[in-house]
Amino acid sequence: MPIFNRCLIVSLLLLSTLLQSAFAGPGHHDAEEHSAEEAPEGPHGGRLLQQDDFAVEISIFESGVPPEMRVFSYQAGTAVPPEHVQLQVTLSRLDGEQNVLNFMPEDNYLLGNTTIAEPHSYGVSVSASYQGKTFQWQYDSFEGRVELSDRMIQLSGLKTELATTRLLAQQVHLFGVVAVDPSRQYQVQSPYAAQVQQVLVELGQQVEQGQPLLKLFNTTTLQAFTLTAPANGVITKWQVNPGQVVGSESLLEIVDFSRVFVELSAFPSDLQQLKSGQRVTVFNLHRAQSVQSTLSFIAPAMTDGHIARARAVIDNSNGLWRPGMHVKADILVAEREVAIAVRKSAIQSFRDRPVVFARIGNTFEVRMPEFGIEDDDYIEVLSGLKPGTEYATDNSYLLKADVEKAGASHDH
């Protein structure tokens, strides 16, 4: 997408959010955040809910412990012993999940029996009983939540996919160079002292095994003889001319380029993951061409530059891989199927934590996964995201910008 259009879309999103903030009615996320900001606060920094002269203060405590709900009770402004109050709280989350919390007395507060999972974004229903009376409250406590129209989703270029099972392929990426296979490099020599009578081939010519190359005259026996090609290949060196008297020196060089080496440079951090037999995919620098092979050799010693040489042998019957060509190689070092994985490009930050944005209808809300192993494109989700969750991938940074602009407080 052109930079101008992308900037225009971002501006439209920001303008949309400003307009929604100005004219939103009940139920819009900005209005809910403003309501939360205006809600009375209790002595312990929690949300104060009052009815008649009875009040409860709902707080999330997460200092040194997993997030837990603590509720303080008051009668006419005076603290009520927690054992005198019966309480139940229901948290209704965006995806329809409900967390029902029951409470037991601890110190001067009631302690919920369930850890409050992130994000702390839910509708809250409170039911309390005290001195034979029942009190009920409902309110919304949302964070990291954005609602967009179909039109804005389309304009922003937001894409989604499902968090599901995936085979992660972990790879080491190396650079290298194509080289001649020495076992396919042939020197054509005369077995006798001789005089060259005729050269039958030219430099760069493709020859076949058994094809006549040179006619010579044995200067000792005075017999003529012919040298033939020892293998299929290309004449790469020509070091002889008709009339020349020769001995045992190389007269012609033939190289079979149908199979070549890829000499790779591996740093110490790579070596511990490399093993002979691992699958190798070789690419040209523009990744327009590729070929499959296996790792056939890892040097036992490092070079002076603290690099180890690793090698793959590749088929070059099509002639694409020329010695001296610089290449890239992806070496598969491990494969593992994981139950849930998400695109690494989908990950944004929220409250200094990595998050992805789950989509339910037209609403996007942060999820705070714990991550495991990864490959180049995907990362395993250990917890914090349900299997099959639809989440934002392309342009998810726009959702982060909208959340930050709207205000991503984490007050309770």
What's the pLDDT at 410?
Answer: 53
List the one residue out of 293, 258, 273, 252 whose CA is nearest residue 180: 258
> What is the percentage of the chain residues whose pLDDT exceeds 90?
82
Domain end, chosen from 289, 313, 334, is at: 334
pLDDT tens for 289-300 read: 999 999 999 999
Number of domains in the chain: 4
- What is the pLDDT at residue 407? 63
pLDDT of residue 3: 43
Structure tokens at 12: 């439209």
Same domain, 102 and 134: yes
Position with higher pLDDT, 408 vs 181: 181
Percent residues over pLDDT 70 in the chain = 89
Same domain, 302 and 272: yes
* Domain-located, residue 16: no
CATH number, residue 55: 2.60.40.3340
The residues that bridge with 166 in the sheet, in sequence order, are 338
**348-350/68-75 β-pairing:** unpaired
Q: Are residues 176 and 325 in the same domain?
A: yes
**DSSP state, residue 117:** P
Residue 176 sits in the same domain as residue 308? yes
**What is this structure's pTM?**
0.75
Task: With respect to residue 9, please indicate whether it lies within any of the assigned structural domains.
Answer: no
In the listed set 229, 255, 281, which residue is the last one of a domain according to the structure? 255
Please tell me whether residues 102 and 154 are part of one structural domain.
no
Residue for token pair 């005075």: 222
Contact between residue 350 and residue 382 where contact means Cβ atoms under 8 Å apart: no
* Dist CA 356 CA 131 (whole Å): 45
Same structural domain for residues 136 and 152? no
- How would you label 226-261 residue by residue, b for 16+ Cβ within 10 Å and e otherwise? ebebeebbebbeeebeeeeebeeeebbbbbbbeebb
| pLDDT at res. 371 | 97
Checking if the pLDDT of 129 tops 50, the result is: yes
Q: 350 and 320, same structural domain?
A: no
Residue 203's alpha-carbon distances to 175, 179, 182, 197, 255, in angstroms, are 31, 20, 19, 17, 12
CATH number for position 303: 2.40.30.170
Give the domain range for residue 303.
171-180+258-334
pLDDT of 402 > 50? The answer is yes
Q: Which CATH number do you get for residue 356? A: 2.40.420.20
Report the CATH number that the domain containing residue 229 is assigned in CATH: 2.40.50.100
Q: What is the DSSP letter of 368?
A: -
Q: Are residues 209 and 104 in the same domain?
A: no
Q: Are residues 347 and 396 both part of a single domain?
A: yes
Task: Confirm whether 316 is domain-assigned.
Answer: yes
Q: What is the pLDDT of residue 269?
A: 87
Instruction: Give the C-alpha separation, 41 to 36, whole Å.
Output: 10
* Mean pLDDT in residue range 154-162: 94
The per-residue pLDDT for range 72-126, each reduced to its tens digit, is 999 999 999 999 999 999 999 999 999 999 999 999 999 999 999 999 999 999 9
Verify that 50 and 128 share a domain, yes or no. Answer: yes
In the chain, the amino acid numbered 410 is H
Cα 263 from Cα 313, distance rounded (Å): 9
Residue 37 CB-density burial (10 A; 0-12 exposed, 13-18 middle, 19+ buried): exposed
Do 175 and 322 fall into the same domain?
yes
In this prediction, residues 132-160 reach a mean pLDDT of: 94
Phi/psi of residue 271, nearest 5 degrees? -60, -40
**pLDDT value, residue 1:** 47
